[in-house]
A and B are shown apart, each in its own frame.
Chain A
Amino acid sequence: MPQSLFAFRKSLDRRTEMVLGVLGFILFLSAWHLTAVSGAIRPEFLPTPLAVAEAFVRLFTERGFAEDIVISVGRVWFAFLLSVAVAVPLGLYMSTYRVVGAILEPFIDFVRYLPVPALVPLLVIWFGVGEASKIAVLWMGTFFQLILLIADDTKRVPAEYVEAGHTLGASNGEIMRHIIIPAALPNMIDNLRITLGWCWTYLIIAEIVAANSGIGHVIWSLRRFVKTPEVMAGIIAIGIIGLLTDQAFRYAHRRAFAYLRK
């Protein structure tokens, strides 16, 4: 029913969404394949999807790519959780006590506008070329954004909810735990999902500049031998991990916040 597919601002059922999502990938791969076999672009620059798929397998069988993936995923999650652990409580305090917000906001805004790649040399000087500097890059890239997002989510909780809490006899701490956090949680989780995506951007930067392991390192070192299929396979691996993580987040979100379902 093409009519219901184009229903104005209406949702589609999950099965249809899945089929359409897969279709999007098929369209992309077909266009890529046709361009590659047409000969318009030299294969050193644009290998076929099949060649990339073969390179993908080779990465795992010949280069131990699985280990690099584990290392990269570990770095991302470690830095991300470290960032969440500090940003969430601080964000909550910032939006609850104006004095904390007044102290932190201007400083955070200042740091937030510093481009993270520009900080990499400094962070390497401070933390060396080991794991610490990579974690620091990721943390710097996400923490200052996340704290403002969390503070905004909390501020958007309707004043009536908080006032209702007061008149029902809740203490400030109880209002925070029983009203503000549950009210803001769906938006917070969404913001965590988006921030985790940024982590990957900074991870690749960190791994290209200073690392001898991880996905970014593999991609960068293969570039030197113009192994285009392998380089593309590495990039695609990041996309797949991102897609899976994102879907897992969305799934958990739907399960946890059933009341938001339309």
Chain B
Amino acid sequence: MQNFIEISDISKTYWSADGKTETKVVLPLSMTVAEGEMVMFLGPSGCGKTTLMRMVGGLETPEAGTIALRGERLAGPDRRRGMVFQSYSSFPWLTVRDNIRFGTRYRRDLSKAEKDEITDHYLQMVGLGRYRNFYTNRISGGMRQRVAIARTLASSPDVLLMDEPFGALDAQTREFLQFQLMDINTREKKTTIFVTHDVEEAILLANRIVIFSSRPARVIREIDVDALIPAEDRRAGTADMPTFFDLRAEILKIIREEYKHSLEDA
């Protein structure tokens, strides 16, 4: 597969306010993501996953190194990389439908009718047709996150960046949205980087899992989940259970070890 996203030797250091203490968050790190691939980031808390993802999104500037999309070097944020935040970033002054339509607002190539069509398409896809005219502070957290996902998809990004998007949701809503995301992914083959702390979520959604070390983030393990458990089986709920649980146990062990390291360092 072609290198759709190419991360080359990027690093990031944060400095304390007085400029005296440095926090190395990402040491020179390289990674590639193929077109249409769903990559799940796992790693101990505070290791730099959010920082790495924000650099890919152009919301944080790497200290050194480059990030390229289709061979083109990226700088600041733009419509090619859509971001779904953990906190609900839908706009309270717009209705559900207008929030989703906002995603199409800066697509200059589309006519008004096409924008409406796309809006309604994603409105239906996330199952919020009935709530189209509700303001987003009148709907539940899970619905708000669906609005944010639909809005991002409506903007038609090349890459979808999701930072613990289901982290704050209850188990049922989370499961529902995971399956919805799988559906979307089968249909649209959207290249996605997804940060999570939930190992089962990672196994369920991943083509590939990347596990990071404690800060500064290094890739300590990559797992080709597709090769172990076929995606169709995971979607259909017919995955081989022993394989699933072995994989889960293995990943948890790696992260647990890394977490201990991070405590020893502190």
Residues of A whose CB lies within 8 Å of any CB of B are: 158, 160-161, 163-164, 166-171, 174, 178-179, 182-183, 185, 257-260
Contact = CB atoms under 8 A, between A and B. Distances in A.
B152 A170 contact: no
B77 A182 contact: no
A252 to B, nearest CB: 15
A178 B85 contact: no
Interface of A is mostly: helix
A150 B47 CA distance: 38
Interface in B198-252: none
Given A167-B78, A168-B103, A259-B93, A160 B85 contact: yes
Given A161-B91, A163-B59, A182-B93, A168 B79 contact: yes
Given A168-B103, A169-B106, A179 B57 contact: no
A259 B91 CA distance: 11
B77 A166 contact: yes
A163 B106 CA distance: 14
Contact of A168 (B76, B82, B135, B161): B82
A179 B102 CA distance: 10
B151 to A, nearest CB: 7
Contacts of B151: 164, 168
Contacts of B93: 182-183, 185, 257, 259
Contacts of B119: none
Contacts of B78: 166-167, 169
9 contacts: A160-B87, A164-B89, A166-B78, A167-B58, A167-B161, A168-B79, A168-B105, A169-B105, A178-B102
B76 A161 contact: no
B155 interface: yes
Interface string B59-89: 1000000000000000011110111010101
Interface in B141-163: 148, 151-152, 155, 157, 161
Contacts of A182: 91, 93
A166 B76 contact: yes
From A168, A170, A179, name the one whose CB has the most chain B CB atoms within 10 angstroms: A168
Nearest to B148: A164
A167 B87 contact: no
Nearest to B57: A167
B79 to A, nearest CB: 3
A179 B82 CA distance: 17
B77 to A, nearest CB: 4
A164 B106 CA distance: 12
Contacts of B77: 163, 166-167
B97 to A, nearest CB: 13
A183 B79 CA distance: 21
From A158, A163, A167, A183, name the one whose CB has the most chain B CB atoms within 10 angstroms: A167
A241 to B, nearest CB: 31
A164 B151 CA distance: 10
Contacts of B76: 166
Given A167-B83, A168-B151, A169-B79, A160 B106 contact: no
Contacts of A178: 102, 105
Contacts of A160: 85, 87, 89
A46 B102 CA distance: 61
A167 B106 contact: no
Nearest to B102: A168
B137 interface: yes
Contacts of A158: 87, 89
A31 B74 CA distance: 73
Given A160-B87, A257-B93, A259-B93, A167 B107 contact: no
Contacts of A164: 83, 85, 89, 148, 151
A174 B106 contact: yes
B167 interface: no
B107 A169 contact: yes
Contacts of A174: 106
Contact of A163 (B79, B83, B91, B92): B83
A168 to B, nearest CB: 5
Contact of B59 (A166, A170, A171, A185): A166
Contacts of B157: 167
B59 to A, nearest CB: 5
Contacts of A260: 92
Contacts of A258: 135
Interface string B106-145: 1100000000000000000000000000010110000000
Contacts of A166: 58-59, 76-78
A170 B106 contact: yes
In the A-B complex, list the 10 residue pairs whose CB atoms are closest, starting with the nearest.
A169-B79, A169-B106, A166-B77, A259-B135, A160-B89, A167-B83, A164-B89, A168-B155, A182-B93, A160-B85
